[in-house]
Amino acid sequence: MFSFQAQKKWHHRLLFGVILAFFCNVITPSKSIASKSQDLQMRSTAANYLAARQALYFKDFRASASFYLTALNSDHNNAGLLKQAFYAQYQLGNIDAAATLAREMELLNIASRFASEPATAQAILMEDWDAVLVLADLIAEDIDAQPVAAIMRAWALVAKGQGPAGLSHLIQSSKTNISGNKSAPTIFRMQAARMADYLGDSDEMLKFADQLLKRNDLSSQLLLQLASLYARHNKNIKLGQLIAQLPNGFNKLKIREVLSHQTTSPKIAHHIAAGIIDASLIANQSKNDNMLKARLGLALYLNPQSDRARFLIAQTLSEINQKQSAKEQLAAIDPNGVWSQPRLLLEVNIDRADNIGLAISHLQRSLDKDRKNAFLQKELGDLYRISDQLDKARDAYLMAISLGLSSANLDRNLAISYEQLEEDRLAEDSFQAALKKNPQDPFTLNYLGYWWADEGRNLEDAIGLIERAVRLRPRSGYFVDSLGWVHFKLGNLDLAVAFLEQATILEPVDPVISDHLGDAYWATGRFVEARFKWQYALSITDDDDLKANLTAKLAR
């Protein structure tokens, strides 16, 4: 069976060979000049189409979009090519180019999802609100796009001087939940609050905002929007409540400072951009809509200052390994704005995948400018721990704690550093502190239980901890392995074999789990199976200590 990398190479060579064949095939002299020209044109179209598909396979969206356009030059009425070229340009954020291609499709009576969206964005920027109303109705014909259409229509009505009608449309959309997604009513209420604020109706704005404030399931995106509204109306207590709910990845002090300087409501185009982002995020969660990146580009087209759009685009690019494009988006984010710290953390995460030393240097430079940032100290500790610089990890975690950061994860990671530094008493104290903050953290339960089991101490307590971890994460092969191993240490060999066999099914290529199962087989007299498991573990491990241990077992 081909490996994934081999399949990619084979696929690449096959398509490259096909493309070469189109260019290198000899044209027979008997053909007329017109026939030869047509033949070459067909070959050029096919070659560029295949090249576009190949680029798309490797997630090179820019090259793919370029090849589709080149293919269209020689076959501009090809419905399939037009659709593919449109989607490629839209995904790339080239809204004007996408709108042009959509108009070409319309002239040829070619129907396509999302075709009206780029033209609607152009109409919004030109403030052609009658056109926006018509185009929003076309967008709404796609049920998954109805939240986006509803937001566009509502703001178009406001722009035409029909504020109450715009608010009424949003409220009605919230009640009917046109997207079928339970998060839709929340985003419509958020838009209604923004609209009331834009219209200067403070009482109505506060009514919608206070309804949202009572919820305990708001995303960080909605929390920030709501905080901005309260900041503009000097509702400092409520502002503080919202900022406190934000994840630690945001710099909360900086956010408060930034929001305190916002005094005016954004432009209508910027409100629509925010609504498009919110609606597209919930559509993406429902798995009915794979156009998140395109919609984020649409929002950025409407509001080029949207750091939120840039960050989310960078996040989607990073997830598909388009690191350079992701970094380009991140570089455009305001280094002193609300999204500056999430930007830094994503940049560090991208660096970490290739060079953890570079990631550490990047984060350390930021800490040199912001030494009292407890969360960044914790993040630095994580990088040091992953790179086995455990003394530095411990010191960074302790600095984060001294600066006021308190969390179960921080205590757990400090405990792991202590344990690997063989500072056992401090490790156990930190593990217990982590469990006190979060008794249902399966990772802490498993780590502490496995540590005790591996050292053959506190075995009854260890098995209780690991059983709790397995109940919380029954599909984790690592946790099931821990349970099997503690039973092995207790001498419950039949149970040990059963759990360790289950663990190898859940994690078939983990050498430690296979080694454990080999030990259990050997202890129960299943010597041939034990040797097989040890040999298999030896063949897949890169750990020198484990290799030496397995080699010694096999030699004996």
Extract the tokens encoding 328.
């380009």
- Confidence class of residue 28 from pLDDT cuts 50, 70 and 90? very low
Cα distance between residue 25 and residue 43, in whole Å: 9
Q: What are phi and psi of 217, to 5 degrees?
A: -125, 25
Which tokens go with 312? 């989310």
CA distance 274 to 338: 15
Whole-number Å distance between alpha carbons of 239 and 259: 9
Biggest CA pair distance of the chain:
90
Residue 43 pLDDT grade (very low, low, confident, very high; cuts 50, 70, 90): low
Q: Report pLDDT digits (tens) over 431-470.
A: 999 999 999 999 999 999 999 988 888 988 999 999 999 9
**Domains of the chain: residue spans and CATH:** 13-22+39-109 (1.25.40.10), 121-304 (1.25.40), 469-556 (1.25.40.10)
- The C-alpha atoms of residue 237 and residue 240 are separated, in whole angstroms, by 5
Spatial neighbors of 170 by CB under 8 A, at least 6 apart, are 150, 151, 154, 188, 191, 192, 195
Quick one: pLDDT at residue 240? Answer: 94
How many angstroms separate the CA atoms of 354 and 356, rounded?
A: 7
Three-state secondary structure call for residue 345:
helix
Q: In the structure, what pLDDT confidence band is assigned to residue 556 with cuts at 50, 70 and 90?
A: confident
Phi then psi for residue 219, to 5 deg, are -70, 165
Helix H segments across 477-526?
Answer: 477-490, 493-506, 511-523
Looking at residue 506, its amino acid is L
Phi, psi dihedral angles at 76 (to 5 degrees): -75, -10
**Could you tell me which of 386, 241, 221 has the C-alpha nearest to residue 307?**
221
Q: 232 near 265, Cβ under 8 Å?
A: yes
CB 100 within 8 A of CB 90: no
* Close Cβ partners of 7 (under 8 Å, ≥ 6 residues apart): none
- What integer best gives the mean pLDDT of the chain? 87
Q: What does the pLDDT look like over 115-149, one tens digit per residue? A: 999 999 999 999 999 999 999 999 999 888 899 99
For the four alpha carbons of 105, 108, 112 and 115, in that order, the dihedral sign comes to: positive
Cβ neighbors of 200 (< 8 A, separation 6 or more) are: none
Q: Which of 12-16, 175-179, 375-379 has the weakest average pLDDT? A: 12-16
Q: Are 258 and 78 in contact (CB under 8 A)?
A: no
The predicted model gives 311-318 an average pLDDT of: 95
Task: Give the number of other CB atoms < 10 A from CB of residue 294.
Answer: 23
CB 554 within 8 Å of CB 540: no
Task: Give the per-residue pLDDT at 67.
Answer: 73
Q: What is the C-alpha separation between 156 and 269, in angstroms, rounded?
A: 10
The whole-number pLDDT of residue 8 equals: 39
Range of lowest pLDDT (11-15, 265-269, 420-424, 431-435): 11-15
Predicted local distance difference test score (pLDDT) of residue 40: 44
Residue 4 predicted with pLDDT over 60: no
CA distance 409 to 387: 18
Per the structure block, which two tokens stand in for 14? 């096959």
- Nearest Cα residue to 486 out of 460, 453, 520, 457: 453
Alpha carbon distances (Å) from 539 to 109, 322, 509, 533, 535: 60, 33, 10, 10, 6
- Calculate ∠ Cα 233-237-241, nearest 5°: 110
> How far is the C-alpha of 130 from the C-alpha of 356, rounded, in Å?
53
CB proximity list for 173: less than 8 A, separation 6 or greater: 147, 150, 154, 184, 188
Q: Can you tell me which residue has the tokens 């599909």?
A: 475
Q: Shortest CA distance to 102 belongs to which of 112, 91, 113, 115? A: 115
pLDDT of residue 21: 38
CA distance 155 to 159: 6
List, for residues 324-376, the tens digit of each pLDDT value. Answer: 999 999 999 999 999 999 999 999 999 998 899 999 999 999 999 999 999 99
Would you state the structure tokens that stand for residue 459, as one six-digit string? 């075995």
* Four-residue CA torsion sign, 329, 293, 140, 196: negative
- The C-alpha atoms of residue 508 and residue 478 are separated, in whole angstroms, by 11
CB atoms within 10 A of CB 211: 13
Q: For the chain, first and last CA: distance in Å?
A: 34
Query: What's residue 189's pLDDT?
Result: 93
H-helix or E-strand containing 542? none
Phi-psi map region of 215: left, alpha, beta (phi>0 left; psi -120 to 50 alpha)? beta
% of residues, the chain, pLDDT over 90 = 71
Local confidence band at 480 (pLDDT 50, 70, 90 cut-offs): very high
Alpha-carbon span 111 to 276, nearest angstrom: 22
Rounded-to-integer distance, Cα 199 and Cα 4, Å: 56
Over residues 303-311, the mean pLDDT reads 97
Tokens of 271: 């409100």
Q: Which of 206, 211, 252, 246 is nearest to 229 (CA)?
A: 206
Tokens of 322: 């388009």
- The model carries a pTM of 0.83
Q: How far apart are CA 398 and CA 411, in angstroms?
A: 9
